[in-house]
Chains A and B, each alone.
Chain A
């Protein structure tokens, strides 16, 4: 006969299984398994009709590493993501300091003001820039009035960068604010009393102590930027190919579509992400020490 304790243990185990099973099944079936599938697809072949042929090959990866179209897309996406992250950091850090140093009752409203644009549809926010930068749009109207004349503001890589920064800035500010708000600013006074100048105090005290916020914000900005394709299409005019554009085309619109090659690109993108984030963590944790 089971003791009371054993009964209790059994009941606990059943309860845990009931709590865990729906989520576990959903995530395995609709998240983990699909990722395994594209990993396998990345080693498969494609036929002329765009169907996946189950013949193992490394050709997809060879294609990506040897054809300039793909190599360039990787470099362009990585470079653009790094640039976006750095600029977001340069804008976001002073802004987060400003909010954290505002009078107590102003901080939450100021932070909410950052968040509100972020709650609106990403596509809508990007589309708004199309209106502003358009050839007969509002900025060109102003430029004409002051005598500079119209400039081709839309459909270039600069417009893409503006859109990316605009779209991702809130993701940078939030973790930065969380870190800076916890930072004790009297430490800066202490550093100054000990003879450090402003730059030294910032670099040696404030920067290392707010590093967790910098890391979190950078990762949050970098990940979606690396895979983006909407911004470069709507603002960049789809003139040059970023990773996301190529993957989207290979999966949906190419003739014929090529899922194995698209899968290989997606797998490699995850790998790039993993390596870059690990490198970043290593560098920044040294900074922290």
Chain B
């Protein structure tokens, strides 16, 4: 490219700021700023992991290496129980919300029907309603249901893992629908028509053509649902009952009282689990 007149200097300046690979002051500033942001994002996590191995009893500075906090953690029945509860809730919530969400995605993507717009709204509303509103609403609802059950059968029910799971499913469905719909949109329907022309019935078409092709989307939706459930704190806090608390709730209760590196240790383990899940989903997507 030939630079000719001073008239293009403004253009050159702007190109410098925004174009790839050229060293300019503004480009350097942008890079430096971005590096700082990445440090801002990662420093807390790295420090958290590091301080799960510190001897310091408050877990806020480095006074030597120890694995004590992990050993204590594994010998803490409350924490281990909460960890188990969390996994059970996440598994059940993932299975149910993935099935329901996939069916909904099929209905929304493949059919025109009356009330379709209202359905669209109902599906996307849980994504935009603040979680605390959903949590208190479900809490009030569960109290009413329990009252009714008590009146009818005389049995006193308390909030338990089932109430939490129902809540998790309610907000996960929407996210599954979003992910699965994307893969249905990219789906070449002529493949189904071809199968029908070759004499396959609907059942066979679904299981041998449609399902394998949208499977990456379904797996993506399931992994998202699983992570959302693991990650959830607010609905878990409001809907879990006494003695059935989930890991984030247990951590919250501990942090509010006194901070010990045991919290760092459990946080580190939760971190590793989340990262493993993301790595898994990336791996699955790359294979396709």
**A residues in contact (CB < 8 Å) with B:** 12, 16, 18-20, 22-24, 26-28, 30-35, 37-38, 41, 91, 94-95, 97-99, 101-103, 112-117, 119-125, 127-132, 134, 136-138, 141, 166, 169, 185, 188-189, 191-193, 195-198, 201, 219, 223-224, 226-230, 233-234, 244, 247-248, 251-252, 259, 262-263, 266, 269-270, 273
User: Are B119 and A24 closer than 8 Å at their CB atoms?
Assistant: yes
User: Are B41 and A251 closer than 8 Å at their CB atoms?
Assistant: no
User: Are A230 and B104 closer than 8 Å at their CB atoms?
Assistant: no
Q: Does B210 contact A (CB under 8 A)?
A: no
Q: Does B149 contact A (CB under 8 A)?
A: no
Query: Could you name 14 residue pairs across A and B whose Cβ atoms are closer than 8 Å?
Result: A20-B119, A23-B103, A94-B30, A97-B30, A98-B30, A113-B41, A121-B230, A124-B270, A138-B60, A192-B10, A219-B128, A224-B130, A244-B132, A247-B136
Query: Do A27 and B130 form a contact, CB below 8 Å, given A122-B231, A185-B19, A198-B13?
Result: no
Given the complex of chains A and B, what is the CA–CA distance between A67 and B9 in angstroms? Answer: 61
Tell me the dominant secondary structure on chain A's binding face: helix
Task: Report the minimum CB–CB distance from A166 to chain B (whole Å).
Answer: 7
Residue of B nearest to A99 (CB): B34
Given the complex of chains A and B, what is the CA–CA distance between A289 and B172 in angstroms? Answer: 36
User: Are A94 and B255 closer than 8 Å at their CB atoms?
Assistant: no
Given the complex of chains A and B, what is the CA–CA distance between A136 and B59 in angstroms? Answer: 10
Interface segment out of the listed B139-147, B150-158, B211-219 = B139-147
Query: Do A193 and B11 form a contact, CB below 8 Å, given A30-B166, A223-B128?
Result: yes
Query: Do A124 and B251 form a contact, CB below 8 Å, given A103-B21, A224-B130, A244-B132?
Result: yes
Within 8 A of A (CB), among B40-78: 40-45, 47-48, 51, 58-61
User: Are A94 and B33 closer than 8 Å at their CB atoms?
Assistant: yes
| A41 contacts across to B, CB distance below 8 A | 140
Given the complex of chains A and B, what is the CA–CA distance between A219 and B128 in angstroms? Answer: 9
**B residues in contact (CB < 8 Å) with A:** 8, 10-11, 13-15, 17-21, 30-31, 33-34, 37-38, 40-45, 47-48, 51, 58-61, 99-101, 103-104, 106-107, 111, 113, 119, 122-123, 125-126, 128-134, 136-141, 144, 166-167, 169-170, 173, 177, 227, 230-231, 233-234, 237-238, 248, 251-252, 255-256, 259, 263-264, 267, 270-271, 274-275, 277-278, 282
Among the listed A37, A131, A197, which residue makes an inter-chain contact with B48, where contact means beta carbons less than 8 Å apart?
A: A131
Query: Do A37 and B144 form a contact, CB below 8 Å, given A16-B111, A227-B133, A266-B137?
Result: yes
Q: Total A-B pairs in contact (CB under 8 Å)?
A: 244
Residue of A nearest to B125 (CB): A31
| A266 contacts across to B, CB distance below 8 A | 132-133, 136-137
Task: Report the minimum CB–CB distance from B27 to chain A (whole Å).
Answer: 8
User: Are A37 and B251 closer than 8 Å at their CB atoms?
Assistant: no
User: Are B48 and A128 closer than 8 Å at their CB atoms?
Assistant: yes
User: Are A34 and B47 closer than 8 Å at their CB atoms?
Assistant: no
Given the complex of chains A and B, what is the CA–CA distance between A30 and B61 in angstroms? Answer: 45
